[in-house]
Amino acid sequence: MKVLIIGTGGVGSAVAKIVKERDPKGEWIEQMVLSNRTLSRAEKLSEILGDPKRFPPEQVDAKNKEEIIRLIEKYDVDLIFNGCDPSLNESIFDTAFQCNKNYMDTATTLSVPHPEDPYNKTNIKMGDYQFERHEAWKQKELMALIGMGIDPGAANVFARYAEKHFFDEIEEISIKDGGNIVVEGYDVTFGFSIWTSIDECLNPPFLWEKEKGWYTKEPFTDKEVFNFPAGIGEQELVNVEHEEVVMLPRHIGKGCKKVTFKYGLGDDFIKLLKDIRALNLDDKHTKVEGTDFTPRDLVAKIAPSPTEVADKMKGKVCVGAYVSGKKDGYERKVFIYQVTDNEEIMTRIGSQAVVGQTAFNPVIAMELIAKGTWKGNGVFCPEEFDPDPYIKLMGEYDYYAGLMEMDSEYKRMLDKKILEAPLYNE
């Protein structure tokens, strides 16, 4: 399979490095074209990978369809991997369709809040633009796999795996994202794309209930404390707009009644975001006088980037699917998760924790697609495919996934069996 990466920023660069590590001989990724608006960045990455023929660098303006088409035709690629900001998703998604090429991204197209009642009603939800084009992609016999990062992405796979193996009935799925990352010399920093972080944290968060459908609330609502594994400990989580809430209800069954997403932002970061909004620095439409930039663009350019502070970060990040329901008549709760340690991932691929944690997932998906394990025509979410080969590959990639059996009737029954097992084996 030949892949065109559009955008060799944090995630795009990490994807290429993981491909080189996992598939050194090019057995399933024959070629991966590294394209970026700044050519020198793509050239540097190609030099690091040490194989310019297999990883050729190219310049591309992702806002220019003709430049993307030129690269598609030059290299005759099979898959377009969109490593750009989600604001470019519609254009790149449409260009892949126009050129009859398969497509993958790590986040869906953006939402547009309700113009009159944004904190109660939905308008255009995340991913709507792509979901509405499923039949068109299906008719062309093309695949678009959207939201294939960590969350969304692996978190969706975890929810599907739980549904398949651990539950007879599902009450709720809550995707939880937290960590104990600190950055030396900085009080507050952005852990991921600054532009995207502002967008998803300040937009009205989506929630879904079987009886109500999709609805919204104000940002940072419904606080809860969750105890994360791997020494991360207790985090205060709040509602944040995220793709899983618009993806999972479409495909998860077994009577699922509720889907939420909650993020451990911390009081300092929440205050920063509120100040950004109060100063109108979250504006993504109005150009600052005398420039081609919006206020949000300027914040993204001025604030320390996640890449810039990567080597100063210490700690871990954790993303998982908390699923509750019933198994064998017992109440059950499980948390399936992935933990990434910043210092370990920096040593391994030179990427900070959030970026590295995100980048493994599209590569795993690429391998499953290249080998024909995941296949289909249309616009797909990760949870629509069999999760078993994905979970298996996570182990092969040394990309840790874990399971916490939470306190429940089912756990107490399991504990009793384990405790008493020696009494019956003597």
Phi, psi (degrees; rounded to nearest 5) at 128 = -55, -45
In 3D, which of 261, 29, 34 has the Cα closest to residue 156?
A: 261
Enclosing H/E stretch for 175: strand 169-179
Q: What is the pLDDT of residues 106-137, one digit of tens each?
A: 999 999 999 999 999 999 999 999 999 999 99
Q: What is the pLDDT of residues 387-420, one digit of tens each?
A: 999 999 999 999 999 999 999 999 999 999 999 9
Architecture (CATH level 2) of domain 2-149+361-370? 3-Layer(aba) Sandwich (3.40)
Provide the residue ranges of all domains of the chain, joining segments of one domain with +. Answer: 2-149+361-370, 154-350+400-415
Rounded Cα distance, 361 and 356, in Å: 9
- For residue 86, say if its preceding peptide bond is cis, omega within 30 degrees of 0: no
Secondary structure tally for the chain: helices H, strands E: 15, 18
pLDDT attached to residue 314 = 92
Joined together, the tokens standing for residue 159 give 């929810």
Percent over 90 (pLDDT), the chain: 83
- Judge whether residue 424 has pLDDT over 70: yes
- Judge whether residue 426 has pLDDT over 70: no
pLDDT attached to residue 310 = 80
Virtual torsion, Cα 161, 1, 85, 176, nearest 10 deg: 10
Q: What is the pLDDT of residues 82-102, one digit of tens each?
A: 999 899 999 999 999 999 999
Enclosing H/E stretch for 365: helix 353-370
- Judge whether residue 308 has pLDDT over 80: no
Helix axes 295-302, 194-202, angle to 10 degrees: 130
Q: Give residue 222's region: left, alpha or beta (phi > 0; psi -120 to 50).
A: left
* Domain 2-149+361-370 matches domain 154-350+400-415 at the CATH topology level: no
| Model confidence, pTM | 0.95
Q: What is the pLDDT of residues 233-254, one digit of tens each?
A: 999 999 999 999 999 999 999 9
Q: Which CATH class is domain 154-350+400-415?
A: alpha beta
Mean pLDDT within 13-39: 97
Calculate the average pLDDT of the chain.
Answer: 94
Pairing of strands 102-105, 143-145: parallel
* Residue 194: band (very low, low, confident or very high) from pLDDT cuts 50, 70, 90: confident
- Judge whether residue 104 has pLDDT over 80: yes
